[in-house]
Structure 1
Amino acid sequence: MRASAFFLLGLVSAVVADNFPYFQSVEFDQGKFGPYPNRSYVATPQLIAPTLNFLQSSPQCDNGTYTMVCLRGDRIPTTAKSPMILDDKGQLVWMNASYGETFALGVQKYNGSDYLTFWKGNPAVGGHGEGYYYMLDHEYKERYRISAGNGIPGDLHEFRITPEGTALVTLYPAKQATMSWRVRGGKNGFPNRKGWIFDSTVREIDIATDKVIFEWNASDHYEPTESQMPAGMAGARKNDGYDFFHINSIDKDYRGNYLVSARYMHGLTYINGTDGSIIWILGGKRNSFTDLSNGTATSFAYQHDGRWNPEHTGVNIFDNGEHFGTPSAYEGSRAVEILLDEEKMTAQLKRSFVNPRKIRSGSQGNMQVLPNGNVLVGYGLNAAWTEYAADGNVLCDVHIGAESDFNTIAVETYRVNKFPWVGRPTTPPDIAFKDGHVYVSWNGATEVKKWVLQASKGAGRNLKVIQQAEKDGFETAIPVNNTNWCFVKAVALDSKSRKLGVSKLIETGCVLDEVEEQPEDNELPEELPAEEVEIDNDVLDMSYWMNDRILFSLSLWKTLELLGIVGASIGMWELRHSRVLRKMYYVSVRKMWGT
């Protein structure tokens, strides 16, 4: 095994360039850093990432998962709108701003493999959207781009993959309907006048074939007059239809039936998966259940993210409680678990989660029960999320935008989820030199634990290992003396010191007196093959304790020989650089040869 590269190498500490994230920062929430505090990086200046404010944190939130979010809002730079993965410390793991504004980033399994999934399109179409659903593999390569069936663009609110390899999606088709919802002169409706509605459609599609397997339309089962959302002037034009139902989530259970959340009906509708008939309705004007909790189980309003709980004994809901300032029955938006007895048709509130700061979100939001029993709540319209223990105690409370700009659409998250993920990008790590430090990062790589720097004085010289450092956040800064090294590259190692990737070779702007073997055209040589990076796993682990012992293992004659070489080298350097010594040397030579 070739080990010399690491014998005298110690592990150096990375220099942290910034003190992010913030902890209990009053200035952050007062907006003194702007509505969307953010940062960029030396090696990847094109990436604009958020800087979080942790109001409360706990190691119990570090459960082997990553936080996944899609930021939107009118105070977020265009180049910062991106699907985004963050670690438990709030540090960026991956983003790709080329996708722009996206919705509902998460991890879903399809045909035995995990994929990053999200929606991308135009979100400004009648309060919903038209676009497509994307699936990226572990290398962040786009493997599937899915329509809502038969090539039709789908809505942003839902893309849920089932164990059968199908996908649940939502649509908002414009349809003509009698304007029964309009009120004029104290009389209801215009029975002889046609207007427009945005219907709410459930579709299940086969991902492999793009064929529609199941379809259900709200207008076949509900009247617009049942809506809890006033129509106002909507409905006169096709592009301004009355959105009376507003579907925002679909869940399919083991029975093959569908649970649908209707924001403007204040209810969940349970649909027969065979004939599309309504089995029951929880909440709203047509509530089917007796509330055993003094009304707190069925009085949710403008809700989002209705799902079956893991035991299938009830449902989880993010209860917004209001719609942009409408009165709420509760002190803040709440995430609730409601137990259902489908035989006795009773509903009972099991638990409720309300943010300590009583955040009120008039739109968006979600509730996710994590595998360890913790509950993650995203506040949608407001740039915050909270992770609770199963008993309701707050573990982590995070702001990704200033609280002073809550409820202003400055920074929005739609949904926030946590999932395990392994990212293995095929692009090389990024590297840059600035102010005496090498900055290294690798967008999307989740397995990097250490960085090893290799350097040389000349571009044509063999690279030597000069530093290694633990990965520290998204970008690690490592001190390098560019009076000694002119060219440098970085090698990424995993937790077992296995090589994951190699950066390009860059110049440090060195200030050596002479640099041997520089290319005449001043261009860098081509990338060295990865095989030339000599890293021995066993020796790497041994190198730390051998540092202070290796000299004692040298034999006496080797030590003397080494000292002699060093002394001769110093003498030659002095002779080369000292005019006085050169003059004395030449005088002695002339006298010796009689010249």
Structure 2
Amino acid sequence: MTTTPDRTTLGRRDVLRMLAAAAAVPALASTGTAAVAAAAPRAGSRAGHTFVSRPDLSPPQVEISTPASGVEPGYLLLTPAGANQLDPEAAAPRADFQPGALIMDDLGQPVWFNRPAEGVIADMQVQRYRGKPVLTWWEGAIHVPPGFGEGQFAVVDESYERIATVRPANGLRGDMHEFVLTPRDTALVIVYAEVRADTTPVGGAANAKVLEGVVQEIDIATGDLLFEWRSLEHVAVEESFYPVPADPEEWFDYIHLNSVCEDGDALLVSARCTHAVYRIDRATGEVTWRLNGRRSDFEMGPDAPFAWQHDCRRRGDGTLTLFDNAAAAPGRGRSRALSLRVDETARSAEVVRSHESPEGLLAPNQGNTQLLGDGHFFVGWGGEPYFTEFDGQGGVLFHGKFVDSITSYRAFRSAWVGRPRDAPAAAGRSGAGVTSVYASWNGATEVASWRVLTGPDEQHLTPVLDAPRAGFETRIDVPGTAAFVGVRALDADGGVLGTSPVVAVG
């Protein structure tokens, strides 16, 4: 999964209390006929789905309050985790849902779910590597407070097979806030490095544990370090809005880098704790300008200032987008997806678009603003369990949330075609005059229907029924009693994509 409450604006207990506010669990929509249904969760019983054919998977449920209408095609990519999966003081992990990487459709049905081997997953998105679409994410452990990660980065192909693992250079461990693939098949990553105050001045804090922000560019194939930028060489601690801790054993998270993107021959870096975006000259490492913060080089227009922000990106039309958390002073009181026109000649910044959530949410941490191809914004509300798609005028086209104390560091909408190498899963349950067959295939996006096979033993199965796919797991009721069952996944043309093992009916 992914995210971590930052302590920049709220204490750990405040964040965890916010995350613990649970919502009612709805029954998700199902499709199909009387003989075919999506296996629905038990309303009000738990935060996670349960599946007969995949009892090992329990991704979290969601509630869709504004059904998708006019949205850009694609799936939702989320990395859910709950408060006690992020809290090192939690007595035990939650048992009612699993953290992980989740691809979901507009009805709230899982399409693919991947549990981490250990720790959590963050920032799953679709990118391109060697000319092909891939899924990427961060995996590791998160320190709460103040909210940074130590781990590595994964690249997987359409079959969900790992084709690359990226680690920072010089013995450092990767932070979950950023993993950007470039057209050169390199990766831009962020690292948090501890520097003691006895070697770095920090405004009078003796021997403080300063967290320095580090940006590296890594060659994915070789692991070679191509570029490195260290914040303490270019950004003074006096720019920070984060107070120096009284306890020298607490981390002084003075800058809190949380995004990096290419901007021509430069880089744009977002720093949450200085409320600023920095443009960095890649040749020299020098900061060529600061947007917002204590030392802004730009005059910020009406409602243009932001605070505790995430996810700054340069767009094709020259505008900058970011997620303005706005949490605590000097924030504006409600978080928003923000687009700014930045005039580097006149040194001015003006608001182009600003969209708040229907609830007027104030996200204390995390969050992102994704610009889709049709001008829509897809927004993950970070420390609040919501996600929204806006049209170009700010109208809400889709809005949903996790049903429990669950958040996702970022949220994306992306096209994706998944072709897993493993087999579909099947299970059978006998009933009054029928055999209920349950079929699923984790991550397969091209399944249109299921063909059910039944028989008296494992060697003698025959096809008895084709039924449309209905959700992650489809229940198909077949008249009569069968001893063994199996399923075949069919594409839209009726071609066989995969065949399950034969299983005994329980």
1:459 positional shift: 4.1
Percent identical among aligned pairs is 33
Q: Map 1:473-484 to 2 at 5 A.
A: 473-483=471-481
| Equivalent residue, structure 2, for 1:320 | 325
Q: Provide structure 2 residue ranges, at least 5 long, that are not aligned to the other structure.
A: 1-31, 86-93
2:232 match: secondary structure: helix
Kept after mapping to 1: 8 A contact 2:326/2:333: no
Report Cα offsets for 1:81-119 as digits up to 9, x if no partner: 111110121100111214451110011111112211101
Q: Map 1:125-140 to 2 at 5 A.
A: 127-140=147-160
Q: 2 CA distance for matches of 1:113 and 1:370?
A: 19
Kept after mapping to 2: 8 A contact 1:150/1:210: no
* Paired letter, 1:427: D
1:246 positional shift: 0.6
| Equivalent residue, structure 2, for 1:44 | 54
1:231 to 226, 241, 244: 244
1:349 match: secondary structure: strand
Kept after mapping to 2: 8 A contact 1:21/1:53: no
Q: Which range moved further: 121-130 or 137-146?
A: 121-130
1:328 positional shift: 5.5
1:53 match: secondary structure: strand
Q: Provide structure 1 residue ranges, at least 5 long, that are not aligned to the other structure.
A: 1-10, 23-32, 183-188, 403-409, 510-595
TM-score, normalisation: structure 2: 0.86
Q: 2 CA distance for matches of 1:459 and 1:133?
A: 42
Q: 2 CA distance for matches of 1:60 and 1:19?
A: 26
Q: 2 CA distance for matches of 1:84 and 1:443?
A: 11
1:247 to 239, 257, 266: 257
| Equivalent residue, structure 2, for 1:507 | 504
| Equivalent residue, structure 2, for 1:80 | 98
Q: Which range moved further: 243-252 or 50-59?
A: 50-59
* Paired letter, 2:59: A
Kept after mapping to 1: 8 A contact 2:36/2:468: no
Kept after mapping to 1: 8 A contact 2:79/2:410: yes
1:148 positional shift: 1.0
| Equivalent residue, structure 2, for 1:305 | 311
| Equivalent residue, structure 1, for 2:91 | none
Whether 2:413 is the aligned partner of 1:418: answer yes
Structure with higher strand content: 2
| Equivalent residue, structure 2, for 1:121 | 140
Q: Map 1:557-572 to 2 at 5 A.
A: none
Report Cα offsets for 1:330-371 as digits up to 9, x if no partner: 341011000011111111101101011111111000000111
Kept after mapping to 2: 8 A contact 1:423/1:445: yes
Q: 2 CA distance for matches of 1:327 and 1:380?
A: 19
Kept after mapping to 1: 8 A contact 2:122/2:176: yes
Q: 1 CA distance for matches of 2:459 and 2:294?
A: 78
Q: 2 CA distance for matches of 1:134 and 1:14?
A: 40
Q: What is the RMSD computed on CA atoms of the aligned residues?
A: 2.1
| Equivalent residue, structure 2, for 1:216 | 229
1:166 to 186, 208, 217: 186
CA 1:427–1:130: 2 relative to 1, 3 Å: same
1:12 positional shift: 6.7
2:143 match: secondary structure: coil
Q: 2 CA distance for matches of 1:104 and 1:134?
A: 11
2:134 match: secondary structure: strand
* Paired letter, 1:50: P
* Paired letter, 1:477: R
Q: 2 CA distance for matches of 1:205 and 1:309?
A: 23
* Paired letter, 2:241: Q
Q: 1 CA distance for matches of 2:422 and 2:62?
A: 27
2:174 match: secondary structure: coil
CA 1:376–1:14: 2 relative to 1, 3 Å: farther
| Equivalent residue, structure 1, for 2:448 | 449
1:155 to 175, 188, 193: 175
| Equivalent residue, structure 2, for 1:267 | 276
Kept after mapping to 2: 8 A contact 1:482/1:508: no
* Paired letter, 2:400: V
Kept after mapping to 1: 8 A contact 2:38/2:470: no
1:329 positional shift: 4.2
1:274 positional shift: 0.9
* Paired letter, 1:129: G
| Equivalent residue, structure 1, for 2:9 | none
| Equivalent residue, structure 2, for 1:16 | 37
Kept after mapping to 2: 8 A contact 1:455/1:466: yes
Report Cα offsets for 1:263-305 as digits up to 9, x if no partner: 00001000111111111110001111122x32x11x2000000
Kept after mapping to 1: 8 A contact 2:39/2:473: no
1:19 positional shift: 5.0
Kept after mapping to 2: 8 A contact 1:69/1:417: yes
Q: Which range moved further: 143-152 or 114-123?
A: 143-152
Kept after mapping to 2: 8 A contact 1:13/1:470: no
Q: 1 CA distance for matches of 2:385 and 2:403?
A: 5
Q: Map 1:454-469 to 2 at 5 A.
A: 454-461=453-460, 463-469=461-467
Larger Rg: 1
Q: Map 1:94-105 to 2 at 5 A.
A: 94-100=112-118, 101-105=120-124
Q: Which range moved further: 450-459 or 196-205?
A: 450-459
Kept after mapping to 2: 8 A contact 1:489/1:503: yes
CA 1:475–1:14: 2 relative to 1, 3 Å: farther
Q: 1 CA distance for matches of 2:207 and 2:38?
A: 63
CA 1:227–1:289: 2 relative to 1, 3 Å: same
1:46 match: secondary structure: coil
Q: 2 CA distance for matches of 1:105 and 1:21?
A: 28
| Equivalent residue, structure 2, for 1:359 | 361
CA 1:226–1:138: 2 relative to 1, 3 Å: same
1:464 positional shift: 2.5
Q: 2 CA distance for matches of 1:242 and 1:489?
A: 57
Report Cα offsets for 1:453-493 as digits up to 9, x if no partner: 122234443x322111000000000012343x332211100
1:152 positional shift: 3.3
Q: 2 CA distance for matches of 1:459 and 1:53?
A: 40
Q: 1 CA distance for matches of 2:84 and 2:36?
A: 31
* Matched length: 459
Structure with higher helix content: 1
TM-score, normalisation: structure 1: 0.74
Kept after mapping to 2: 8 A contact 1:199/1:219: yes
CA 1:265–1:329: 2 relative to 1, 3 Å: closer
1:176 positional shift: 2.6
| Equivalent residue, structure 2, for 1:287 | 296
Kept after mapping to 2: 8 A contact 1:366/1:380: yes
* Paired letter, 1:411: I
1:225 match: secondary structure: helix
Q: 1 CA distance for matches of 2:338 and 2:42?
A: 30
Whether 2:487 is the aligned partner of 1:487: answer no
* Paired letter, 2:114: N
